[in-house]
């Protein structure tokens, strides 16, 4: 079956204007595949503004690249397999309510976005990087600040994006500073106890030292969850899943970002324009299917967000995962599936 349907069309940009989205029927193969998946499983990609996805996600023509950047979320959100998206720009600065309202205007009912929390709230120690100025290398006094979170994240979401918000991703970047387990767990408890209960919280640690004895119990006690991440410096998803109490529920998040030993820049140069799978990761795909099946058995909703840098093209990775999940669910017990967990 073709995974590049529509690639023969004219370029993504130019022409008299974009076609009406409602006039573009969905690919029936993708509709059939989506219908075979559990209703609580949401696949999506990390951001969405990649012209290389023409024919994979995008089929309409946009008057300009600026129009594509501004309007393409509406087309993305109507792809049969893409029921969530990672909003990553919010890591670098809060998104005002007015801009969240624009996003909301493009999304269909039932769509949910996973949005990163501003790095000023989630960074323990500011990296040695010029963009942090005088703060580079210093401890962050606002780490997991409930007050800053409410003002700059929760309140704008409540004002303009509540119908579409999924888990808020608290990405804790790695640091060369040693981890004080007591201080880390205390900060996490303080944040989760004060954070608005109507929102969902998913903690993504990028340093194995943050997987402290109290980490998973704290998440469970406060209704938050761990992000199972495929990222260069973390144990693989199967190893994370094997940790005691690693799936606290009632929702599960996985983010497939970057293979071990690879930098973002190396992956970008190797994989651009992100229109094909360059480096498939069969073991990680199998781990994700295992994670999904365990979550579905427990009645948990599942979010799986894929970055282009994981394999080369996140829409194609999503499709491959969806096909694997369909096959796994169609296989009778005892005919090739692993033991129940």
Distance of alpha carbon 110 from alpha carbon 234, whole angstroms = 32
Distance of alpha carbon 308 from alpha carbon 227, whole angstroms = 18
Residue 3: closest CA among 45, 53, 56, 54:
56
Read off the pLDDT of residues 251-284 as tens digits, 9 standing for 90 and up.
Answer: 999 999 999 889 999 999 999 999 999 999 999 9
Read off the pLDDT of residues 87-132 as tens digits, 9 standing for 90 and up.
Answer: 999 999 999 999 999 999 999 999 999 999 999 999 999 888 888 8
Global pTM value: 0.92
* Residue 107 dihedral angles phi and psi, to the nearest 5°: -100, 145
pLDDT for 341 equals: 38
pLDDT for 235 equals: 96
Residues in the chain with pLDDT < 50? 1-10, 16-18, 336-341
Domain ranges for the chain, please list them.
Answer: 21-47+66-328
CATH of domain 21-47+66-328: 3.20.20.410
Count of CB atoms situated within 10 Å of the CB of 106: 18
Distance of alpha carbon 31 from alpha carbon 33, whole angstroms = 5
pLDDT for 92 equals: 97
């Amino acid at each position: 079956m073709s995974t590049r349907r529509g690639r023969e069309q004219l370029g993504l940009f130019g022409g008299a204007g974009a076609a009406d989205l409602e006039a573009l029927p969905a690919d029936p193969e993708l509709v059939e595949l989506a219908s075979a998946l559990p209703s609580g499983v949401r696949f999506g990609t990390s951001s969405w503004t990649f012209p290389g996805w023409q024919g994979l996600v995008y089929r309409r023509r946009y008057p300009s690249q600026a129009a594509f950047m501004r309007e393409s979320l509406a087309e993305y959100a109507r792809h049969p397999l893409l029921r969530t998206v990672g909003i990553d720009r919010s890591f670098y600065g809060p998104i005002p309510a007015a801009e969240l309202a624009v996003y909301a205007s493009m999304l269909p009912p039932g769509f949910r976005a996973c949005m990163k929390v501003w790095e000023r709230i989630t960074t323990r120690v500011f990296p040695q990087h010029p963009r942090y100025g005088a703060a580079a290398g210093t401890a962050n006094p606002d780490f997991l600040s409930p007050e800053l979170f409410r003002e700059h994240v929760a309140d704008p979401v409540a004002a303009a994006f509540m119908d579409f918000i999924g888990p808020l991703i608290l990405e804790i970047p790695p640091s060369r500073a040693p981890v004080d387990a007591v201080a880390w767990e205390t900060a996490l408890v303080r944040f989760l106890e004060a954070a608005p209960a109507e929102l969902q919280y998913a903690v993504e640690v990028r340093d194995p030292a943050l997987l402290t004895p109290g980490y998973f119990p704290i998440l469970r006690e406060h209704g938050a969850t761990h992000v199972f991440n495929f990222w260069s410096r973390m144990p693989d998803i199967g190893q994370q899943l094997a940790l005691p109490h690693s799936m606290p529920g009632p929702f599960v998040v996985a983010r497939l970002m970057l293979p071990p030993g690879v930098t973002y820049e190396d992956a970008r140069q190797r994989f651009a324009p992100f229109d094909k799978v360059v480096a498939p990761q069969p073991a990680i795909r199998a781990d994700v299917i295992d994670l999904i099946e365990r979550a579905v058995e427990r009645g948990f909703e599942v979010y799986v967000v894929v970055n282009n840098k994981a394999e080369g093209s996140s829409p194609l990775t999503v499709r491959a995962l969806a096909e694997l999940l369909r096959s796994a669910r169609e296989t009778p017990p005892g005919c090739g599936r692993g033991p129940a967990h």
